[in-house]
Structure 1
């Protein structure tokens, strides 16, 4: 993390200046945080008030249909939960949340830790969360519309047309879903594990959340779904395995379009490489 004098940081990111109405003094500096494409965030240490992360609203959050106001609503609704950071402040420039000390969970740690966090999230009463349910097709279409015409070759168009619709599956209750529950968003503290970065969270089919997490972790699907079902005392394990399998190609399309859009915006080769790999997998 690079420390930057407050005045210089405000020139780099003008949204930071809006925080002066929240702090009781002008911060001395801000620190850049490494993170994902939509997480160009800042750490701010204010003696007497604590440490915070500033999560700005930008053209990137708009491109990926991320709402800081929805993120704030979710965090406030989960105020009493021990595994969620506290939301401190929201305005038209971004969201301020508490900074959490701890260690990121490493990628080689057991998937069980992730599944236990997911179980706790999925068991929260969705009626507590004042947001509309996730619309898979609308999100896919949102990404698709922003892609330049030269990217939309015949193969990609066929994948989009094949997998853009919601599958017909046996009913399960919608739950709060994180949608980015990878090791990179889990912080170990002495009291337990805390889940950060709720910008993609929504009310949705938990089998979709499972499919996304299994894809990120690159673990065995039937074994992982069975383990999740055991944690939640779900009897219809085969039905859930089948449901996650049916969601799987749709999650691949969702992430593929995300990567293509990320490459279009940022031009970083890693996103193009990931997109090519995902496209090849879907074509097979």
Structure 2
């Protein structure tokens, strides 16, 4: 992987001809280094450098960029303007992400649900996402790669949590899902929302996106019903509510195991 300075030299065609621009680190990402590229006193581009191990974290970069470009064509995300190896540059989206303590109103929840519903209507891709298979792989990696005594107790705890985890049955119909709809992966401006960060995107049960949305966006039951009616359609029944809760718990454990793997 090249250093950032080498990538900047190679992307001259998309930078100001006079070479005057500002590179500002963005602090919201966890897995990657992300920068805003500014010139003329305006944010223009976003540059992302991949930091994590693709093999360990199960990221298919070719698929990620395919889905990203497909979503951009439909106005669901920012356009990619330059990409090479682990560096990708996209257009800057004017708007704001949500805080980790987001408390939605109808005016903010509705556009988020609408963009997720549109994503679920996009053409299928070849790869499926199963949070349970991912957790099993990560837990195995934790056991094999962490020998420090201070890690033994946390590893045993997450293994116990996984054994106790209620598991939703695999859905008969899968759709293209984002699979990581945390508040920092949604950008809102007025009544329009965009999605960013496509590393986890693949075919999945659409209720998984609802489980992540319910937990990460702190939805109450009425808001969950509203989100369900927009994203899935109809009234939320007992079976689907159970599956959403299973996925919500699996998402929480996924984030905990990810933190342990990243430490």
TM-score range, shorter chain: 0.7 to 0.9
1:160 aligns with 2:152: no
Structure-2 change in CA distance of 1:209 and 1:93 (3 Å): same
1:227 aligns with 2:226: yes
Q: Is the 8 A contact 1:179 1:213 kept in 2?
A: no
- With normalisation by structure 1, the TM-score equals 0.72
Structure-2 change in CA distance of 1:237 and 1:228 (3 Å): farther
Match of 2:30 in 1: 37
- C-alpha distance in 2 between matches for 1:194 and 1:157: 35
Q: Is 63-72 or 245-254 further displaced after alignment?
A: 63-72
- C-alpha distance in 1 between matches for 2:116 and 2:217: 18
Q: Is the 8 A contact 2:125 2:176 kept in 1?
A: no
Q: Is the 8 A contact 1:225 1:237 kept in 2?
A: no
Per the TM alignment, residue 134 of structure 1 is displaced from its structure 2 partner at its CA by 0.7
Question: What are the within-5 Å matches in structure 2 for residues 11-30 of structure 1?
Answer: 14-20=6-12, 23=15, 25=17, 27-28=19-20, 29-30=22-23
Structure-2 change in CA distance of 1:13 and 1:217 (3 Å): farther
- C-alpha distance in 1 between matches for 2:223 and 2:7: 41
Alignment: residue pair count: 249
Q: Is the 8 A contact 1:118 1:181 kept in 2?
A: no
Per the TM alignment, residue 211 of structure 1 is displaced from its structure 2 partner at its CA by 1.3
Deviations 1:112-134 (A, max 9, x none): 63454234323446662434111
Q: Is the 8 A contact 1:73 1:129 kept in 2?
A: no
Q: Is the 8 A contact 2:31 2:50 kept in 1?
A: no
Return the match for 2:66 from 66, 70, 73: 73
Structure-2 change in CA distance of 1:172 and 1:124 (3 Å): farther
Return the match for 1:133 from 109, 118, 128: 128
- With normalisation by structure 2, the TM-score equals 0.77
Q: Is the 8 A contact 1:79 1:86 kept in 2?
A: yes
The unaligned stretches of length 5 or more in structure 1 are 1-9, 265-284
SS in 2 for 1:89: strand
SS in 2 for 1:51: strand
Match of 1:259 in 2: 259
Return the match for 1:145 from 140, 143, 146: 140
- C-alpha distance in 2 between matches for 1:125 and 1:183: 19
Deviations 1:185-215 (A, max 9, x none): 3323356222222332222112111112212
- C-alpha distance in 1 between matches for 2:159 and 2:183: 32
Q: Is the 8 A contact 2:212 2:248 kept in 1?
A: yes
The unaligned stretches of length 5 or more in structure 2 are none
Match of 1:280 in 2: none
CA RMSD in angstroms, aligned pairs only: 3.2
Per the TM alignment, residue 82 of structure 1 is displaced from its structure 2 partner at its CA by 2.9
Per the TM alignment, residue 174 of structure 1 is displaced from its structure 2 partner at its CA by 1.6
Per the TM alignment, residue 14 of structure 1 is displaced from its structure 2 partner at its CA by 4.9
1:194 aligns with 2:194: yes
